[in-house]
């Protein structure tokens, strides 16, 4: 699987993202040809080699012939994307990025999405940056996007809304739920456009995944920054396509003073909230007290909900949380026919090879009860039928 990892050791902006993609192998003429499919005029794009902090990279620039660009609403930007001749993937990715950006702006300014004036990010250069990033990912054949922790910087910036703290309020809203670090640089390192592109198109966040590294690229920021190279690094390569990976959170707490009956309701509420798994482990705490360790595997989006359920439904005073990477077999479900009835079977594929077959428990239990046969016999019948089908 073709993968790209964005290493945001000095933040990320729209022009840095496109510059890094160019540095990693995106052809500039290909980018120009695709951007020409937008119904926008009065701009051109350029790329040049520069040095930041002693390291070389590609600086991507959008040169606008008419500097005073009009402000745009979300509907204006989406119409430009929709009426372009770009591929469906690029249109979809660009639309998602701008919708997410508009939602963040609306939230921090307490207004409706359709009333948001995009100001700087609605100008031609931001549209080109977002679409350029989507074009680059498609042109490089990227199937999976991973992103490191975001470095935001510190201090204040001047913008259309006046003097604002770093990270800018829209950037902070976009980064909720993602790994961030401020660092010690007094500058805006991650911009709203950069945050919107990477949090929208990124599929996993944290360390670089294992891959066969094919190319490395550096996208340069606009200025030199004392003490750090103002660059965004990308690493492009091949990961093991036989399996899938994602990032999950593990929530843990030790409990030694809660009635066992209460765990049933806890499990039900956690699974109803969308957690991936819940389990307990027998442990021994201080003074020899028997206890259980509650473990919950949950996605970033559901983490806060799961934590609230744990606090409300258990006797704990605290929760440990850490991020992990899951490596998974590719899964699919098939419906197979046995002599006792139909059963859903989950298949686990390692590449093209099926290495795991797992009949659905509820189907097997129901049919075993109806026909008076052993549950394990239903399991074997379903597995055999799945092997014959596949």
Specify the pLDDT at position 119: 53
State the distance between the two ends of the chain, measured CA to CA, in whole angstroms.
24
- Residues 74, 99 contacting (CB under 8 angstroms): yes
The mean per-residue pLDDT over the stretch 126-143 comes to 96
Specify the pLDDT at position 117: 62
Specify the pLDDT at position 371: 95
Q: 3-state SS of 182-208?
A: CCCCCCCCECHHHHHHHHHHCCEECCC
- pLDDT-derived band at 70 (thresholds 50, 70, 90) equals low
- Residues 60, 219 contacting (CB under 8 angstroms): yes
More confident site: 16 or 42 = 16
Q: pLDDT per residue over 227-240, tens digit each?
A: 899 999 999 999 87
Q: pLDDT per residue over 315-357, tens digit each?
A: 999 999 998 888 888 888 889 999 999 999 999 988 878 899 9
Which sequence spans correspond to the domains of the chain? 2-241, 245-318, 328-389
SS3 166: coil
- Residues 354, 336 contacting (CB under 8 angstroms): no
Four-residue CA torsion sign, 138, 139, 141, 144: negative
The mean per-residue pLDDT over the stretch 177-190 comes to 91
Q: Would the pLDDT of 68 be above 80?
A: no
Question: What is the chain's mean pLDDT, rounded?
Answer: 91
> Helix and strand tally (H, E) in the chain?
11, 17
Quick check: bond before 167 cis, omega within 30? yes
Classify domain 328-389 by CATH architecture: Roll (3.10)
- pLDDT-derived band at 2 (thresholds 50, 70, 90) equals very high
Helices of type H across the chain = 14-23, 28-35, 74-82, 88-108, 124-139, 169-174, 192-201, 262-273, 303-313, 361-371, 375-389
Superfamily of domain 245-318, CATH level 4:
Transcriptional regulatory protein pf0864 domain like (3.30.70.1380)
- Residues 96, 103 contacting (CB under 8 angstroms): no
Specify the pLDDT at position 161: 66
Give the lowest-confidence range in 36-40, 82-86, 239-243: 239-243
Specify the pLDDT at position 120: 46
């Amino acid at each position: 699987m073709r993968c790209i990892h964005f290493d945001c050791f000095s933040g990320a902006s729209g022009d840095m993202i496109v510059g890094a993609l160019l540095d990693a192998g995106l052809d500039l003429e290909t980018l120009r040809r695709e951007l020409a499919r937008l119904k926008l005029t009065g701009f051109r794009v350029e790329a040049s080699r520069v040095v930041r902090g002693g390291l070389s990279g590609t600086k991507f620039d959008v040169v606008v012939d008419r500097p005073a660009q009009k402000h745009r609403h979300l509907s204006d930007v989406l119409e430009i994307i929709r009426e372009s001749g770009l591929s469906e993937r690029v249109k979809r990715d660009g639309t998602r990025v701008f919708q997410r950006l508009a939602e963040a702006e609306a939230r921090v300014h307490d207004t409706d999405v359709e009333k948001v004036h995009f100001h700087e990010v609605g100008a031609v250069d931001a549209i080109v940056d977002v679409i350029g990033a989507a074009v680059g990912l498609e042109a490089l054949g990227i199937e999976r996007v991973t992103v490191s922790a975001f470095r935001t910087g510190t201090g204040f910036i001047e913008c259309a809304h006046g003097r604002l703290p770093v990270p800018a309020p829209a950037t902070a809203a976009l980064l909720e739920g993602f790994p961030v670090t401020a660092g010690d640089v007094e500058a805006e390192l991650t911009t709203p456009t950069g945050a919107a592109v990477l949090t929208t198109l990124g599929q996993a966040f944290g360390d670089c995944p294992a891959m066969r590294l094919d190319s490395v690229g550096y996208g340069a920021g606009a200025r030199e920054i004392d003490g750090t190279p103002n660059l965004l690094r990308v690493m492009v390569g091949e990961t093991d396509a036989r399996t899938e990976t994602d990032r999950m959170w593990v929530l843990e707490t030790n409990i030694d003073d809660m009635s066992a009956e209460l765990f049933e309701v806890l499990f039900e509420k956690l699974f109803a909230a969308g957690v991936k798994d819940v389990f307990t482990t027998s442990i021994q705490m201080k003074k020899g007290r028997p206890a259980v360790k509650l473990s919950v595997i949950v996605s970033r989006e559901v983490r806060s909900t799961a934590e609230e359920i744990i606090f409300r439904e258990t006797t704990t005073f605290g929760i440990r949380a850490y991020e992990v990477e899951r490596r998974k077999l590719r899964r699919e479900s098939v419906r197979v026919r046995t002599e006792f009835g139909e059963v859903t079977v989950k298949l686990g594929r390692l590449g093209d090879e099926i290495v795991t077959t797992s009949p659905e428990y509820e189907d097997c239990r129901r049919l075993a009860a109806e026909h008076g046969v052993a549950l394990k016999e239903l399991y074997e019948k379903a597995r055999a039928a799945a092997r014959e089908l596949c």
